[in-house]
A and B are shown apart, each in its own frame.
Chain A
Amino acid sequence: MVTSSLLMHILNGLAYGMLLFMIAAGLSIIFGLMNVVNLAHGAFYLAGVYIAYSLVARHMGFWPSLLVSVAVVAILGVLVEKWLLERVYGRELEQVLLTFGLSFIFADLVEWIWGSSPLTLPVPEALDVSLNVGGMMFPAYRIFVILVGCLLAVLLWYIESKTRIGAIIRAGVDDREMLSALGININVVFTCMFAVGAALAGLSGVLGGPIMGMYVGIDAEILVSSLVIVVVGGLGTWKGAFIGAIVIGVVDTLGRVWFPSFTMAMVFLIMIAVLLMKPNGLFGRGAAA
């Protein structure tokens, strides 16, 4: 294969991976900190992109719509956490049922409000150009998504390792009781982190809209992909989600070129391989059971 097209394939994989990273990061941290498998996480993705769509359709412009939509999704996250999830902490299977029920409700509400026909979010005008990469055209918007993903990774890494908030979260992932013992209001921490996770999913939705389109059902697809990433990377770490996303994004993309008959099962093959070698994912903490 020509080098330039290999480069293109890798860029494609990265762009796709970065979108998944944004949603997986929130999922992973909610899981690590609160021990909640949030099956409604895909619904936040859906809410993000559909709200942005409505705002853009009202000529609000892509960037303001993005901000508003992410903020609304964050508020939605707070409501879900405060009203519902808070009541079932520590009861995992009931959380599964609750968040599953919520994902049903959200998805169907979206279909009710916006209809079942797929919609699309236009690429923001400033980025609606193709760049020349080694003699081939590559959409500038995808480069932008890769940059946002990397920037976010750096930001999350900085927060996690250099700030007080990060210290609290790390402590919380390892030992929740200790947090309360230190006099930290754990409820507030949980609510904030849940909101941040939801906001990241919303952000991923808005940024993903111009690439992947929007329809009811994409929430479940995205959720499964990001769960795979979270598990491959290891629960509760941003670093794991980042590396996992890159691995899944790039391998999935290259797999389509090199092993076209395995496209359906590619990501699952990777996941099984990783988990057989490292039962707690690439960067997972905690002893192997």
Chain B
Amino acid sequence: MKKETVALHVAFVAATMLLPLILTSYGLKLTSEVLIIAMFVMSLGLIIGFAGLVSLGHAAFFGIGAYTVALISEHVDNTWLLLIAAVVTAGIVAFLSGLMFIRSSGAYFLMITLAFGQMLYAIAYKMEGVTGGADGKAVSESFNLGFGAIESRLAFYYVAAAAFLACYYLLRVFLSSPLGKGVRGIKENESRMTALGYNTHLYKLTVYSLSGMMAGFAGALYAYFNQYISPDLLHWMFSGQALIMVIVGGVGTLLGPAIGAGFFVILQNYISSYTERWPIIMGLLFVCLVLYGRGGVIHLASLVWSHLQSKRRTGREKSVLPKEGSGFESLKG
């Protein structure tokens, strides 16, 4: 790594840690929520941007994480155990469903994951005795890592921030490992990788399970965050929103989806406070983002950035975007 990059990362971590200094109490709470959702969206961004698996049922794993914490916390109060249980459950479900679904590709994969998510939604909705049904369920345990219950907003912010940073750097390490490189190779050219003797199915399954685990982890934190769970956490609308956040942020990058989550949640929250017509404004933003930003905030930002740079250098380089950034090959089977 270049010195410059190291400095950037230090700045990034420091900024996350110092953020509470400028935030109001409400801002702190909102940022914690954004960070948790960002982790979830990042996990979806991982399979979309690096493995070409576009899922419309990813909320299933987020919901599994949240429900695991909510249901088991009635019997067990150890936060570590609950978090591990959530990650493991989500991971197992992701592995098993991936085993069946990864055979399908493109739009078929999109729809079969949607169907799977909706089945879990129906189960959570119908099994009133266990899950609380459509009305949801309160989570009464508080977050406690062994040194006292974390009740204050500031403390929970740091939990969310630390979890987010840990997930982010974990994914970076994963992507530069041989396994991660294999996965990216498959996305670029699957038949070549198959010819080279890679078991592409296994690679995809691994990354899908990893992504499911991370979504489950985010869901578990969310159950603690809101102290309430409801089937909406599993619904395809939430999966769809996450997909939109990934695209809004920028596909094919790690941090793009996280930024997309921030933009989506904060902007929607903001706009919908001011006008009932918020869907039109959000819709227009999406359309403009596609027409002028190649579909991603991060791409748009890099366009603006390089525009400023090139002005400074009076150069006239026009094409800025790395090709890989704009998506995946085909939704078709």
Contacts and interface: CB of A to CB of B under 8 A. Distances in A.
Contacts of A284: 108, 333
A84 B212 CA distance: 34
Interface in A18-35: 31, 35
A107 B63 CA distance: 28
A265 interface: yes
Main secondary structure of the interface of B (DSSP, over half): helix
B305 to A, nearest CB: 20
B112 interface: yes
A114 to B, nearest CB: 14
B279 A107 contact: yes
A224 interface: yes
A197 to B, nearest CB: 16
B313 interface: no
B173 interface: no
B111 A271 contact: yes
A233 B289 CA distance: 33
A167 interface: no
Interface stretch (B17-25, B75-83, B118-126, B140-148): B118-126
B96 interface: no
A108 B279 contact: yes
Contact residue range for chain B? Answer: 35 or more
Contact residue range for chain A? Answer: 35 or more
B115 interface: yes
Contact of B287 (A31, A105, A224): A105
B284 interface: yes
A286 interface: yes
A269 B112 CA distance: 10
B290 A280 contact: no
B119 to A, nearest CB: 5
B100 interface: yes
B333 A235 contact: yes
Contact of B119 (A227, A272, A287): A272
Contacts of B112: 231, 271-272, 275
Given A268-B115, A281-B108, A35 B333 contact: no
A98 B100 CA distance: 30
